[in-house]
Amino acid sequence: MQIISACEILGIDARQEYKGKGWRADVFIPNDTRPIAFEIQLSPQSLSKTLQRQSKYIQDEILGCWFFENPIPKLIEERPDLPVFYVEDDDNSTLMVNLGTRRKINLLTFLENFITNNIQFRPIAKTNSTQTIKLVFYEMTCWKCKELNHLFYVATPFHSSCNADIKPEEALWESNSIEYRPEIIKLATDFADNRPELNLKLVQIKERFSHKVGKSYMSFGCYKCDSIFGDFYVMDAKMGVMYEIDSISHIGQVELMETFELDIPHWCFPEDGHFCGDH
């Protein structure tokens, strides 16, 4: 009923309980170029049963779109041949539609955009060039000169314009950690400069030769004596702070010099009209 009345508001012709060859849609949009069948599935239905019912729509060149209340067992990732969205009532008993864990929108907004093809499948998620990130600072004493240094890490994932979480450490991005990127370093140094009362002694990040490894690589090192901080010790110090709630942190915006992508198949609904991976 909510789909029908939403379509009425949008001026879209929608038929209830519409029957075709081997299928019966809860709501059918008899669009010439892109007919759509909406299926509302409140009782559990297995993935194989859903795919079997979906194949009838595919045969008839109809886009079958499913609303489930509960996750489909064994459906581990979103797929192009099966648009599935999870619905729930909000406090005002308006149906809300979840696009994965990325966005939650009301039914009207969903229908308006899905029917007009503003929600499209994409196999990858791509970072926005502007990112809001959280830096967390932690301490480490130089093993050589015993001076206290402040290190930092990026505590939040990056996001695509459709709000998918993109974890930099999962992206194929050289072998360097995200903290070595110039734009991230700048965010940290600007923060340290603007907050002198915190007395942050930021580590120096640069290429250093490691005798142990036998080559040069990007590393954290002592701000005072330039001694290299080995990855293991850095990781150890970071682990110590990760679950602390009162550590020094800073939320700020960075402009990424290059965007990056992760294989995250998803139904993309970008906030700015730029679908993931499109140029």
| Binds Zn ion (CB under 5 A): choice among 58, 145, 235, 251 | 145
| Nearest-approach distance from CB 82 to Zn ion, in angstroms | 17
Q: Is 140 in the site for Zn ion (CB under 5 A)?
A: no
Q: Is 127 in the site for Zn ion (CB under 5 A)?
A: no
Q: Is 162 in the site for Zn ion (CB under 5 A)?
A: yes
Q: To which residue do tokens 């709501």 refer?
A: 27
| Binds Zn ion (CB under 5 A): choice among 166, 222, 234, 262 | 222
What is the distance between the alpha carbons of residues 171 and 180, in angstroms, rounded to a whole number? 15
Q: Is 142 in the site for Zn ion (CB under 5 A)?
A: yes
**Which uninterrupted H or E stretch holds 5?**
helix 2-10
Residues 253-272: x/- map of binding to Zn ion (CB under 5 A)?
---------------x----
| Nearest-approach distance from CB 118 to Zn ion, in angstroms | 12
Q: For residue 104, what are its two tokens?
A: 């939650």
Strands 95-99 and 84-89: antiparallel
Residue type, 216: S
Q: Of 70 and 117, which CB lies nearer to Zn ion in the complex structure? A: 117
What is the distance between the alpha carbons of residues 150 and 140, in angstroms, rounded to a whole number? 6
Task: Please give the full DSSP string across 65-112, using - where no structure is assigned.
Answer: EEEESSPPTT--S-BTTB-EEEEEE-TTS-EEEEETTTEEEEHHHHHH
| Nearest-approach distance from CB 141 to Zn ion, in angstroms | 9
Q: Of 15 and 274, which CB lies nearer to Zn ion in the complex structure? A: 274
What is the distance between the alpha carbons of residues 224 and 275, in angstroms, rounded to a whole number? 46
| Nearest-approach distance from CB 114 to Zn ion, in angstroms | 14
User: Which residues are near Zn ion by CB under 5 A?
Assistant: 142, 144-145, 147, 160, 162, 222, 224-225, 227, 268, 276
